[in-house]
Structure 1
Amino acid sequence: MHEKLSDIYQTESRRVFATLVRLLGDFDLAEEALQDAFAAALAQWPKDGVPANPRAWLVSAGRFKAIDQIRRRMRFDSTVESIAVLSEGHHTPDSIDDDALIVDDQLRLIFTCCHPSLSREARVALTLREVCGLATEEIARAYLVPPSTLAQRIVRAKAKIRDARIPYEVPGKDQLSERLDVVLQVIYLVFNEGYSAFQGEQLVRHELATEAIRLTRLLFGLMPTAEVEGLLALMLLHDARKSARINAQGELVRLEDQDRRLWNQHQIKEGVALVLHALASREFGIYTLQAAIAAVHSESPSAEDTDWDQIVGLYDALLIRMPTPVVELNRAVAVAMRDGPEAGLQLVNAILNQGELAEYHLAHAAKADLCQRLGRTSDARSAYQTAIAYVTQGPERRFLERQIAALSTD
């Protein structure tokens, strides 16, 4: 039962939380109610069995626990009165209609957290914490800020939502576009954490990747723009490779070494169709271009047979819209595949000399790989060691250590 409850927590907790925010009108109260609901499930389900609709049961249990807690504290204000109305006897834990009451509260919550009155940094941090359940420490490390700074940013954002009475709703079409950019960014960050976890021993967090795809499908139905379509395509194409990205021992497998027969062809077909449609609109942006790059990889029978010239061209177009060192690094790797490791190494060294990626382990890993291909064993070993010093992901660290071991064997 503990294992079953743990699985439900992973897949359902943030949806339950989002609905509790709608019903209770308060982030912190909803978080307490969520924990109380799972504590009640841990006590009751082993005796009574898992209910037919666990999510609805947890929502009702959490709501009732919150109402009881407020009553015990004797805080009968207008908020409590509105909650009390919800607690009248016409709802039981199993009677809540999953589609009617829990329409998609996470999507509502994302737009609430991405309200334009909040700073961009606060929107992203709040959404990753409250909608997706990432730990404050995880988000802080990803953004290279102290956890205390990140925590204060989240607290201030919650207070702003409360004090400004920001509505908990998906905005009208006239307001959608101004919030769409941040919403897409947040959903993609969630997917990236699921596709390749920032740290720890688990390379892939499938529940986060799956949730990001689900939310993007919902968003695409609400606002079928080229960039939403492009983001959906990008995630589907990356997610299609998940079965080949790790081996039987749970270790990382590079793209060029993956068994492409394990790739999900249904997802690839859908993703390619979406990206072609988005490109045809001529209104695409950075997500569609990244999806186009992923599509070229997905349709190639091997790394050697990949159209690297096309990929370099797509990176050239992406750099115009997204001139970041990471995009430059990815382009440099593609140039190395097209023109040879020496050409790629020159570009990677130039990027590292700029300083912005000095602590980015993938930049040093790319340099090490190119040096290894050129037979510069000492330089390769040094670059691998630098990459290991900055990596925070267990399987990636072991992969880099195996590369150094292979250098010693050679």
Structure 2
Amino acid sequence: MSQAATSPGPEPRYRWVIVIAAALVLGIAMGQLVNGLSVFFLPLEAEFGWSRGAVAGINSAGLVGIALGGIVMGFLADRIGVRAIVLTGAVAIPLATILAARAEALWQFYALFFLAGALGGGALFAPVIALVGGWFRTGAGLAIGIASAGQALGQGGVPWALGHLISWTGWQSALTILGLVTAATLIPLALLLRPAPAPPPQPAAAPGRAPLPTALVLPALSLAVLGCCTGMAVPLMHLVPLIQGATGLGAEAGGPLLTMLVAGVGGRIFFGRLSDMIGALPAWMAATAWQTALMMGFLLMDSLTAFFLFAPLYGFGYGGVMTGVLVSVRALTPAARRASATGIVLSFGWLGHALGGWQGGALFDLTGAYTATFAVATAAGAANLLIVGSLLLALRQRGAPAAA
């Protein structure tokens, strides 16, 4: 049989439309759900007299919702298709946001953000990332890096814009406007997301290559993600109030967070391409080591200028961590179950975000400072490195695949 007869042919150009649409969806949705609430800390404390830990718990409730919803929505996406699931999320997030503008009790904020996470974020993140990976036979690391870079840009841009919007209109109007803009953008973008074409037949595994069973890989990846996301949640959720406390500034304190996450855009793309070159797990370890080594540096900054200089340096490595996670899940799980596997692993990531954000506020309330908060984040990153390193060693000892 000739090579032409067995070649799978060129990859479809529409895969780049999928990447761009995915990047925008993740930027808009996750920019508000992952850390967008950070700029509401002080307004909600002033309005209702709640503690920092109680307000941080609102965001944590949303992240727990993403964690649980991602498992269910990933399972459904593997069976009924991504578009219907993503449309569900595109409606749920703006509806919950608009209702939150009228909330008056803490439990109402918790319930609404939990539902926004479960029905919204859970429907958008794991299914969309799995869809992007499914459209690429080669270069999936770069594609996932670009898509997740959209999320990074959103996580910087949304809080920055909301900080100024709050100063102009108040927190309630800011939430209402956010909900309307989200509906007007997410629903059309969801309609662009088509199922990936069927993959070509895969060649038989090379002799001596024995990948680890999924039953072992998923728990290892899940525990590792729990560690890395517990660490990364601390600057995401507490950098703005840390700067406000250190400098006495208001909305301007969101600027370093924006620069951190803009630098993260480059990091996500860089480490995505690096994973195509050296393997998913080594690239993930490199990004995590970068993030962990610099974590405590935020506590040494004492001026807005210093925060502006340090935040992007940290952010480049931080940005690569999530790309490493996503590419590793793709490389180590079967294609037919990739959305559900991604949902399971990322559920631990969102739980880590919830834990990291909550413990940051709770330890601040307990100690009056952020030293213990950032120390816990550093320890969590070190635990992630230990687990990923052990998984990498196990794969290499088996002579198993490109992830290593």
The structure that has the greater radius of gyration is 1
TM-score normalised by length of structure 1: 0.29
Larger helix fraction of residues: 2
Q: Which has the higher contact order (CA 8 A, sep 6+)?
A: 2
TM-score normalised by length of structure 2: 0.29
